[in-house]
Structure 1
Amino acid sequence: MSTQIQRYISKQFSMEHKVTDSPKEIKTHLHDRYELFYFISGDLTYYIEGQAYTLSPNDIVITNSRELHRIVFNSKACYERKYIQFKPEYISAFQTDDYNMLYHIENRKLGYCNKIPAEEVFAYKINELWERIEQTTQDSSPESPIMMKAIFIQMLITINKIFSKYNHTYTDRHKYDEKIVAILDYINKNLEEKISLDRLQQKFYVNKYYLCHIFKLNTGFTVIEYITYKRIMSAIELLMSGMPAIDAAHAVGFGDYSTFYKAFRNITGFSPKQYYRK
């Protein structure tokens, strides 16, 4: 059972605080927003593009709209979290040619340096900025949306500073499975091709059954599940650019439209046409 402690939703920015007494598996879903996930309590592993992150209270995990991620619960321990989801357009008026607040969020290698540890959250006072945004959402005055955006921009600038430091130091402290990283990189660069377990086995010199095991262990997804999700994510980008659905299906590697349609509807909950209109 989940309890909604706080919720604020607008067209380009949303903020929530939830507690779940006995969490169950969360179905993987796609969203076209960037997400800041503030972990408070629970027993889980956060998988992002081949990296398994173990979280401690007050850690923050940041993902962009191109990073496939999944939460797997290791026990029924009470799960409490906060998160902010936003579209880049929310802060676009404040971007400049000389400074991009989303640079490190957008330009990291997929699955790399997603976590800001609790000690950094407190050291840079991100927790205080988060609390100030929460307080602003409770204010009904006409200036509150402006104040909220101003505080959020402060938060993004602070996160940019942290990521700038991580680019030099944090990557070396996080262990990555080089074989899985190479396989994920190959899949993402060749979605339009026919990618089978036999092909991956041949290319990466690893038994396909062992590959399935280590892939699931490292990503939280089966190989086929991961390929399907990434193809749908790529197809969404093409649809949003105006490409007809049938052309997008073939462009991302689906052999026939009916298979694409079923996968698209199963993952997004909408048909391609409904998703585009939404």
Structure 2
Amino acid sequence: MDNQILRYNSNPFSLAHTVTDSPNDIKTHIHNCYELFYYISGDLTYYIEGQAYKLSPNDMILTNSRELHRIVFNSKCRYERKYIHFKPEYISSFQTDDYNMLYYIENRKLGYFNRIPANDVLEYKINELWEQIEQTSLETSPESQIMRKAFFVQLLITINKIFSKYNHSLVDRHKYDHKIVAILDYINKNLDEKISLDLLQQTFFVNKFYLCHIFKMNTGFTVMEYITYKRIMRALELLTSGMTALDAAHAVGYGDYSTFYKAFKHITGVSPKQYYRK
């Protein structure tokens, strides 16, 4: 069970600071907002869109509203973290034509460069800005909401500064299994087609049983789990654009609507038609 040290919730911005004494794995999920995750302690691997991040204290993870992620705990060590959830409209009044505070959160390849290492977090004083955001969330003065947003804007600008200094050097510091990267890319480009382990075996010249092993080891997902989640996420986009549930099912590779229905409700908690009407 999570022990709440701090929680503040005011849509479209919320934050929390929690501790879990004996954590369990956090299943694959996706947010309808952006998440800034500040790691304090524990023993975990953070999986995002097929990339595995082994975290150190004071590391920070950024995910946007399109990135599947999950957490696997390597032991039952005490787990402490902070996180902020927000939607772009929270800071829209500060955006300009010349400067996009969400540039590096929005414009990364999915699953790439999600981590800001601890040395940068501390050097750029992200930890201090975060503490100021928390402090203003505890206050009830008339100016506290303005101050909280001001500190948060500073935090986003600082994140942009950190990523802008990397340029292309960050690519050399993050190693990927190129076979897995190619498979992930293929899946994401062919969600409307029938994708099976046999097909992937033939396409990438790798034994399907070995493929299952290295895919899970590198991504934290099974092959079919990843495909299912990505198809449902794509279906959500199509339903939001006005497509009917049946057409959306066919558009993401489901020939059988009942199978689509079960997968959709399992992942989203509502039926396709309920989501469409909402």
What is the TM-score normalised by the length of structure 1?
Answer: 0.96
Greater than 3 Å deviation, 4+ residue runs: 273-278
* Corresponding residue number in structure 2 for 1:193: 193
Identity of aligned residues (%): 78
Distance 2:273 2:150 in 1: 36
**Contact 1:3–1:18 (Cα < 8 Å) also in 2:** yes
Q: Contact 2:245–2:276 at 8 Å: present in 1 too?
A: no
Give distance in 1, aligned partners of 2:273 and 2:129: 39
Contact 1:30 1:268 in 2 (8 A): no
Could you tell me how far 1:241 is from its partner in structure 2? 2.1
1:145-160 equivalences in 2 (<5 Å): 145-160=145-160
Secondary structure of the structure 1 residue equivalent to 2:206: coil
SS of corresponding position for 2:122: helix
Q: Which runs of 5+ in 1 are unaligned?
A: none
Contact 1:200/1:208, CA 8 A, preserved across alignment: yes
Deviations 1:201-220 (A, max 9, x none): 11111111110000000010
Change in Cα spacing, 1:134 to 1:273, as seen in structure 2 (3 Å) is farther
In the alignment, what sits opposite 1:64? 64
What displacement does 1:276 show? 4.9
Report the 3-state secondary structure (helix = DSSP H, G, I; strand = E; otherwise coil) of the residue aligned with 1:28.
strand
**Could you tell me which residue of structure 2 aligns to residue 28 of structure 1?**
28
Give 1:16's aligned residue: 16
1:53 shift after superposition = 0.6
Counterpart of 1:41, as a letter, is S
Paired with 2:84 and 2:239, the residues of 1 have a C-alpha distance of 25
**Aligned match of 1:44:** 44
Q: CA deviation at 1:27?
A: 2.2
The 1:222–1:130 alpha-carbon spacing in structure 2 relative to 1, beyond 3 Å, is: same
What per-residue deviation string (whole Å, max 9, x for no partner) do you get for residues 132-188 of structure 1?
000011111232222211111111111011111223211211110000001001111
Structure 2 letter corresponding to 1:112? Y
Q: Distance in 1 between matches of 2:103 and 2:173?
A: 22
**2-structure distance, mates of 1:192, 1:218:** 24
Q: Any conservation in 2 of the 1:30–1:267 contact (CA below 8 Å)?
A: no
TM-score (norm 2): 0.96
SS across alignment from 2:26: coil
2:92 is aligned to 92
2:179 and 2:99 map into 1 onto residues whose CA distance is 35
RMSD after superposition? 1.3
Q: Mind listing any 5+ residue stretches in structure 2 that lack a counterpart? A: none
C-alpha contact (below 8 Å) 1:51/1:219 kept by paired residues: yes
